[in-house]
Every structure is written in C-alpha cells, then in structure tokens.
Amino acid sequence: MAQFDEEKRTWYGRYRPSIFNPRANLGQVLINVLERTPEKIAQVNVDTGTEVSCKQLRRRSVRFAKYLANCGFEQGEVVALVTRNSCHVSAVTFGCFLAGITLNTLDPSFDLPEIQHMLRLTRPKMIVCDFDRLLVIRTACTNIELQVDKYGLLLLESGNPLPTDCFSVDELVYAGEATEQNQLSEEDSYIPPYWGDSTRLTAAIVCSSGTTGLPKAVRVSHAQLIALHGRISQLDQNDTILCFSTLYWISGFQMLLTGTFNGIRRLITAKPPSAAYTIELCNRYQVTILLATPSLATDIVQALPETARLESLKVFIVGGSVVPLALRKSLNRHVLVEGRGRCLVAYGLSETGGGVSFEIEPREQSVGALASECAAKIISDDGMPLDAGVNGELLIRPAYPFLGYYGDEEATRQTLDDEGFVRTGDIAYFDRNGLLYLVDRKRDILKYGGYQITPATLEATISELPGVRHVAVVGIPDPDRPFDDLATALIVRHGDISPALTEEMVIKHCTEQNGGEQSRSECYRLRGGVRFVDCLPMTENGKVIRSAARKLAITTGYCSV
C-alpha cells in the first residue's frame, strides 16, 4: 500500500528495488538475459508458426545494430517503426537499443495526416515499415520535405521488386545465419556500448493515445523501460504471454520486455484482436498471461460458452481505460478457473514509461498500490493537494523522470509541474489504505446544472444490463442551454440476448441505480437519451475515440429525456 506524507499530502509507493539495474542501458540488459537461456523459445509468430529462440533473437538484434553503425548512424538519431507485429520487429527494436538509436513507433493504421504530424516532429533518418504502408509513408515524407536515407521493409510479399532505396529486414537479419562459424562467433562476442545516463537517455518515442486529437511524441527513457519489467508476479519460464498491442502502445513495450527479461515465451500476430481469435490462441498455446482492453475483455466474456473457461490463464490483465467492477467480476466468475486465474487491473501512461499502480492484492474498484519509488498527489482545481477519499486530478512522479514531449516544449511545460510530477488528466482518489481509485478522464467529465457527471459511472451502470456489448457515454449540447452537457449513451447491443434491450430499460436502470440521493439521481439521468449503434469508434487497440463518439451521438439525432 502507498504511504501518505500528511505534511506534503503526497503518497509514496513502498520501496522495492528493481530486479535489473536501471543505471545500465537497455542493450546491456537485453544481451545479458538473452545469453542466459540461448535455446529457450522467446517468440512464436502464430500467423506463420515461426519460432525464434533467445540465441536467434540476440544474434539478429546484433546484426541490425551493426547495420545501423555501418550506415553511419550516430547516437540519438531516430529510426521510425510503422509495423504490425511480425517476426523481426523485436530484432529491429533491440538493435536500435544496442546501437544507441532512438526508436519512434507509429500506429500502422495511422492515416496520412497523423503520419505527417509524427514524422515532422521526429525527423527520422530511417523508416522501417510494412510493405503495404510504404506508399503512404513516402507521400508523407514528400509532403513535409523529409529526406529519408533508407526504408526497411517487413511483411514483404514475394514477387514484389525491392525499390533501390529500400532493404528487406528479413534478408538483413537472416544474413549469415547458415554460413561459417566465425561470423556467428563475432556476433556472439558482441559487447554493447554504454551510451550514457539511462535516466536521461531516450530509448523510444511513443505516441500519446490520440483519442481526442493528434498524438504527442512521448520520450521514454532506458531507465523507465528497465525498472518496471522485472518479475512482479508468480511468473516462470513455462508461462506464455499473449498481447495484441503493437509497439505503438506502451503496453506493447511492456509485454515485449516483461517476456524477454523473464524468459517467457511471447505470442505475436499481425491479425486484429477479436474474442474468438483470443480464445482460440489461449487454448491452442496454453496462454497463461493475457493483456486486453476492457472492450476485448467484454467480448471474451460474452463469446465464451457458458460452461467453458480459459483454463490455462493465470493472470488476465485489463487496462487502457476504466475497468467496470461488473467486468472484473465476470472475468473471475465466467472466464477464469477459480483458484488458478485472476483478473488483474493495472494503471499507467506513456509519460511514466508504463505501469505506475498494480492491483497485486485484489480490491473491488481499485487499480492497486503505487509502484516502487513512485509518488502521487491528488489536487483540486486550484492546485491544492487533497487528503484521502477526495476526488481530484491525479499527478504522478515516476521513479525515473518523464523526459518530455519530443519537439514540443510548450506541451512539456504544461504537463510537468515544478517538482517533476506529471499531470495525468485523470480524476482519481486514494483511500485511507493507500489504494488508488480511478474515476474518469478530466476532459471527459460532463457538466449539467452545476453538477459534474462522470461518464465512467454511467458506463459501469449500463454495462450491468444483459445485452450490452459496449457502451460509451458522451455529452451533447443542450439546445436551450448550450453550456450544459446532456449525458447520452451509445450502446452496441449483444445480439443473442432476449428480450432485446430498449432505451426505456436503460434509462430506468440508470435512474434506479443512481437513486437514493435525489440530486445524484437527477444528475445522472441520460438526458440526451440512448443511441443503439452497430459499433463504437475505437482505436486499433480498443479505446473509444471520444471526439468521434460525440459526433456520432449528435448526428444520430437529439431526443431530450
């Protein structure tokens, strides 16, 4: 549990030293751990059945690092990665870490404006991308007048000619794998350089979620990525990790490094996540650790036959947005085997390098205790720190400092306070036991008649109803009082539930569940009504795009309730 300093009104995570040395560089740690179990399978591509051992991953990473050096790359220069999960993404990533190169990861589903925006900020010298994204990336580079020296191609379809300024990553990392022993010996004796202070050295530039606008370029340090990914639970080398996140998401880095540092087999796929595919992979590969968003977790609950369980799962990690209590209970009761598996909720953000709280000891609604050496404050609108049990904006000071947004000093100043705390934009509170509870995103809070309405509260209430697959609550303007938000529910129905869910059933349930205190019941009415839609606008990773959801609610018609 976090400890509270009453004088400073600040919470502190209990000290627990990192298993790995955060003062080292990532390349040094990676080479060390990959050398320990050379024949252990580090990765399985479930799309192709290809397995990669720790020895193969180490050698391929070294080859890519040497290629960067031979191309004249210097420390701190940027390589952009725009790829789905495929065999050699990990070797490219680790090769950049070994060579002291900063890796900028972009969402492979980005459209042209988003790609241009990020490349304009980071100005990479090389871009590694899937072959089917090459055309739009070239267009972006032309539009922003960015001269790229080399394009590395992944998922290259056979028969396609290789452009003169491109190279095949497959051919590069495979080169020499079946040739004379002396070449392999040279790679095996590789000693990664030390590139400097890991707390100030940028390992990766990841994107903020971009659910409300163009993403920011978040700098993540070597120390941040090392410190968080040692053994935090009952993991062993017989475990198997499944995570659909690409390296665009900080969760992708978390699972890549958790697996590698702990000698755990990872499953990768370039296919999009779905409940049916997740269940299939869990059963086929006996997955023990699964990371999913609340939307995917909800689909798994509803897709799994009533008497079936994911028997191999030890830990079902859910994160990325607020996780309703009803979903946690459903996962524990209807997906996991009692006494073997459990749902674990974690909280983190890109600016902190990943997780800052973990629900190690199960508590309803809580996202757990602060990680070691993290500090946190809850502040009021006027910036005053608050006591336990009071809602306010959550500020986090991670164990290793946030390095800022690449190319955006103004956004960095707005996010960091004078003591190094990161303004998360989340409304939260701590209880008196030092456990953290999330309420909602600050920018998503709705206002009506002087009251504040948290969409997450209404979403949790609505998700209790049978027949709700996904729900998002947004505010639409009141035509008579445009300064007020009318809470409006967008619902994707589950088609197999009878009787079919209706607007009247939803509104009645919300009124009853938020009753008792009259002002609260009135406040939490769905005054904008209910819209039943085929799908919610979401990112590739299953986060609701609030701005698009609000537009959808407005365009599907107004109905005051």
Closest C-alpha among 114, 95, 159, 103 to residue 406: 103
Two tokens at 172? Answer: 């590069």
User: How far, in Å, CA of 530 to CA of 522, rounded?
Assistant: 16
- Percent residues over pLDDT 90 in the chain: 66
Cis, bond preceding 398 (omega within 30 deg of 0): no
Checking if the pLDDT of 185 tops 70, the result is: no
At 502-548, the pLDDT tens digits run 999 999 898 887 654 444 555 678 989 999 999 999 887 778 888 89
Count of other CB atoms within 10 angstroms of residue 500: 11
Fold agreement (26-39+54-223, 229-371): yes
At 232-266, the pLDDT tens digits run 556 778 999 999 999 998 999 999 999 999 999 99
User: How far, in Å, CA of 489 to CA of 530, rounded?
Assistant: 5
Concatenate the DSSP letters of all residues of 288-313 into one string: -EEEE-HHHHHHHHHHS-TT---TT-
Mean residue pLDDT of the chain comes to 89
The better pLDDT of the pair 213, 89 is held by 89
Span of 277-281, 385-389, 546-550 with lowest mean pLDDT: 546-550
Count of other CB atoms within 10 angstroms of residue 404: 19
User: How far, in Å, CA of 97 to CA of 379, rounded?
Assistant: 37
State which amino acid sits at residue 458. Answer: L
Q: Which fold has domain 26-39+54-223?
A: Rossmann fold (3.40.50)
At 468-484, the pLDDT tens digits run 999 999 999 888 787 88
pLDDT of residue 557: 61
pTM (two decimals): 0.88
Domain 1-16+374-442: CATH architecture, name and number where available: Roll (2.30)
User: How far, in Å, CA of 457 to CA of 431, rounded?
Assistant: 18
pLDDT of residue 119: 97
- Tell me the Cα Rg of the chain: 24
Dihedral (CA of 350, 454, 470, 366) sign: positive
Span of 71-75, 157-161, 332-336, 443-447 with lowest mean pLDDT: 157-161
pLDDT of residue 561: 44
Checking if the pLDDT of 206 tops 70, the result is: yes
Q: Report the helix count and the strand count for the chain, using DSSP H and E.
A: 17, 27
pLDDT of residue 558: 47
Mean pLDDT of 25-38: 95
Checking if the pLDDT of 267 tops 50, the result is: yes
pLDDT of residue 130: 95
Name the pairing type of β-strands 126-130 and 150-154: parallel
The better pLDDT of the pair 363, 286 is held by 286
pLDDT of residue 542: 75
- Report the CATH number of the 446-557 domain: 3.30.300.30
- Report the CATH number of the 229-371 domain: 3.40.50.980
Domain ranges of the chain: 1-16+374-442, 26-39+54-223, 229-371, 446-557
At 140-154, the pLDDT tens digits run 999 999 999 899 999
Checking if the pLDDT of 219 tops 60, the result is: yes
Name the pairing type of β-strands 342-349 and 354-358: antiparallel
Checking if the pLDDT of 421 tops 90, the result is: yes
